[in-house]
C-alpha cells in the first residue's frame, strides 16, 4: 500500500468531484464512486479509479476494499444516501470520515453515526460571500470553527510602508499574522517583522471572529 493517505469519495456531484479532483491534483490516490455513468466516464482519466455503483451495502464495501482507505468523503446531498454511506464506511473501519450536510439536523445525524467532520458547503460559502461584500478590505474570510476565523485582508493606505512591528496587530486586536500574499502570487510565511508592507500586499491573519473584524475596521 502507498505510504500516502488514500481517499475514497462517495458521491461525485459538484462538491464530491471538486474534492476528488483537488486531492488527485495534489498527488493522492483517489477512488471515486457514483451512480451516474456520465460522471464516472468524465472523471475516469482524472482520478486513480472511478467506479459506477448503484448499490450502497456491505457487499459494495467489501468488493471495493474500502476498509483499506484512510479517509472517506461522503458527497451526497440526499439524507438517506449520505447516512447509509457514512455508516458503511464507519463499519468498514475507515479512520476519518468527512461528510457533506445540507442542514444542522442532517449534520447532527451524521455525527451520531460516526462522521468525524461535517461540511456545510452552501452555508459556509454564503458566509464567505457575505463577509466579502460587507467589508471592502476583506479579500477572503473562512470560519475555522465556531470562534476561530482566518481572514485575508488587503493592506490599507493607513499601513502601507509600515512593518508588522509598527502596526502590532497582535497587541491591538488580538490576531496573529500567519502569512503575507504578494502581488506576484507568492506567499511569505517566514515574514521579516521589520519589512515595510506594500500597497498590494494581503495579510493572512487568524483570530477570533470578533478580533478579525475589529482588525478590518481598524485598518
| DSSP annotation string for 124-166 | HHHHHHHHHHH-TTEEEEEE-SSSEEEEEEEPPTTTTT--HHH
**Per-residue CA distances from 1 to 68, 69, 94, 99, 211 (Å):** 9, 10, 15, 25, 45
- Please give the pLDDT value at position 164: 92
CB neighbour class for 4 (10 Å; exposed up to 12, middle 13-18, buried from 19): exposed
87 Cβ contact list (under 8 Å, min separation 6): 113, 114
Distance CA 219, CA 172 (A): 11
- Please give the pLDDT value at position 2: 47
Distance CA 194, CA 172 (A): 17
- Please give the pLDDT value at position 134: 55
Pick the CATH number of 6-119 from 3.40.50.620, 3.90.79.10, 3.40.50.150, 3.40.50.720: 3.40.50.720
- Please give the pLDDT value at position 151: 80
pLDDT < 50: residue spans in the chain: 1-2
Topology (CATH) of 124-218: Alpha-Beta Plaits (3.30.70)
Distance CA 41, CA 210 (A): 46
Domain ranges of the chain: 6-119, 124-218
Amino acid at each position: 500500500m502507498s505510504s500516502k493517505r488514500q481517499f475514497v469519495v462517495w458521491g461525485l456531484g459538484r462538491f464530491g468531484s471538486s474534492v476528488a479532483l483537488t486531492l488527485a491534483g495534489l498527488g493522492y490516490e483517489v477512488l471515486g464512486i457514483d451512480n451516474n455513468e456520465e460522471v464516472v466516464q468524465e472523471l475516469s482519466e482524472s482520478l486513480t479509479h472511478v467506479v459506477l455503483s448503484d448499490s450502497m451495502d456491505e457487499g459494495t464495501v467489501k468488493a471495493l476494499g474500502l476498509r483499506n482507505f484512510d479517509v472517506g468523503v461522503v458527497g451526497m446531498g440526499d439524507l438517506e444516501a449520505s447516512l447509509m454511506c457514512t455508516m458503511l464506511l464507519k463499519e468498514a473501519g475507515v479512520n476519518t470520515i468527512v461528510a457533506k450536510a445540507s442542514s444542522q439536523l442532517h449534520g447532527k445525524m451524521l455525527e451520531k453515526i460516526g462522521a468525524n467532520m461535517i461540511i456545510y458547503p452552501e452555508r459556509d460559502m454564503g458566509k464567505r460571500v457575505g463577509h466579502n461584500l460587507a467589508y471592502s478590505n476583506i479579500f477572503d474570510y473562512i470560519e475555522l470553527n465556531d470562534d476561530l476565523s482566518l481572514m485575508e485582508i488587503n493592506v490599507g493606505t493607513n499601513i502601507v510602508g509600515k512593518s508588522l512591528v509598527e502596526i502590532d496587530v497582535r497587541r491591538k486586536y488580538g490576531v496573529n499574522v500567519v502569512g503575507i500574499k504578494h502581488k506576484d502570487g507568492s506567499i511569505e510565511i517566514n515574514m521579516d517583522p521589520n519589512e515595510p508592507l506594500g500597497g498590494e500586499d494581503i495579510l493572512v491573519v487568524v483570530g477570533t471572529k470578533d478580533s478579525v473584524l475589529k482588525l478590518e475596521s481598524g485598518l
